[in-house]
Amino acid sequence: QGIDNAFWNCKLMVYGDGIQAFKPLAGGLDIAGHEMTHGVTQFSAGLNYINESGALNEAFSDIFGTIIEFYAKPSSANWLVGNEIGVTLRSMSNPNAYGNPDTYGGTNWYVGSGDNGGVHTNSGVANYWFYLLTMGGSGTNDLGSSFNVSGISIEKSRMIAYRTLTNYLFPTSNYADARFYSILSAIDLYGACS
């Protein structure tokens, strides 16, 4: 009681009752899925919870928490992490809106030792990757590169994300590894140049 947090402690999930900032955290479907995914990650890729591997760890938890929300509540699901508990923690469709980067090394990219090297902050890059992969989008990123992505649907993007996490990533994986292996996963599932 009296805990404004939810977490995976390497053995079990803990959901606080949200006494100050949040409503009970077990009430958020994406939050519940997020914490369960930390367990999946521990027993598959084993992503270290620091720096870029930690940001990927957080992002995959956001990704699968959101996938679960879209599966269970398709009419009310959204790309906001935590809004069901009364406070939006992150946006996958617009990470910058909550102080997270949507571009590797771009606006809001965190360099430092706080938050285990920015594991929550820098998760925005992979969160936005998954959003674009699913929904598509176009524009110019923070580093001046233009992009135009056709979304492939959450049914296909979730398969790529899951295969990348469980078949290819390893404890010290970084964003370059995630890029390489997500492309390889897409080829495995849907063919070259798919």
Question: Among all residues, which ones are annotated catalytic?
Answer: 35, 120
Q: Distance between CA atoms of 147 and 51, rounded to whole angstroms?
A: 26
CA dihedral 43, 166, 128, 4 (to 10 degrees): -20
